[in-house]
Amino acid sequence: MARKEEPKIQPNNDLEKRIIEAFEVFDHSGKQVVDVREIGTILRSLGCCPTEAEIQEVILATENKEATGNVPLVNFLPYMCKAIIEHQFYPASAEMLLAAFRYFDPEGRGFLTKERFFTLMMEEGEPFTQEEYDEMIQVALDPVTDTVMYEYYINQLMVAPKEVYDIADREEIERKKREAAAPRRRRPSSLLRATQG
C-alpha cells in the first residue's frame, strides 16, 4: 500500500515563506525533505552564519528519526523560525570583524598577506572548506596588491543583507502587538471576587 502524501506546508508569515523557499531549492524530490548535507548551505542562504558544530545541532534537532540522513520541512521550519527570531547564527558585526582582523595584524598595516589569510581561514580555528575559501578569496583579495585589505573586505561583507533577521524582528513586533491588543480573559475566580467586593 502506497504511503499517503503529506499536504504541502503553507507559510503563515514572511519569515516562514523565506525559510520554505530556501529549503525548497534543495528539495530535489519535491517531498519537503532534504539531505542532511544540505542544511549548512540552506542556513547560509538564509543569511545565517553557523559554525559546523551549530549545523550539527540543527541536524540533530530536525533530522527524521525514522529515516536518518534526511531533514523534513515539518521539523526544520519551526526550529529555524525560533532560531532566527532568537537571532541565533547572526552574522558578526563590522566592529567584531575589524577587531578580529586587527588582532591578526599586530603591525597595524591594514592588510593581511594572501598566505596569512589562507592559514587563518584553512588551518586555525574552525577551518573553512576549500570551496568556501575560494569564494571568500575572490572577494577579499585586492588584485593590485595581492593582499587582503580587510577594512575594504569587511565593507563588502556588510553589503550582504541580513534580511531574514529583519523579517523575524518585524514578525515578532507584530505578534507582540497582537498579544497586547487582545482582550485579557479574566479567570472565573477573579470574576467571583469582583462581584463579592
DSSP bridge pairs for 141? 148
- CA–CA distance, 140 with 122 (Å, rounded to integer): 15
The answer to whether 44 and 55 are in contact (CB under 8 A) is no
DSSP single-letter state for residue 143: T
The answer to whether 123 and 129 are in contact (CB under 8 A) is no
End-to-end CA distance of the chain: 66
- CA–CA distance, 23 with 18 (Å, rounded to integer): 9
Q: What is the pLDDT of residue 88?
A: 92
Neighbours of 168 (CB within 10 A): 24
Q: What is the pLDDT of residue 91?
A: 83
Mean pLDDT by groups of 10 residues along the chain of 197 residues = 66 93 93 94 89 92 91 96 92 89 95 94 84 88 94 79 82 88 66 58
Q: What is the pLDDT of residue 131?
A: 84
- CA–CA distance, 72 with 85 (Å, rounded to integer): 20
pTM of the model: 0.68
178 — phi, psi (to 5°)? Answer: -65, -40
The answer to whether 36 and 63 are in contact (CB under 8 A) is yes
- CA–CA distance, 179 with 173 (Å, rounded to integer): 10
Q: What is the pLDDT of residue 2?
A: 45
Structural domains of the chain ordered from first start: 14-85 (1.10.238.10), 94-159 (1.10.238.10)
The answer to whether 43 and 58 are in contact (CB under 8 A) is yes
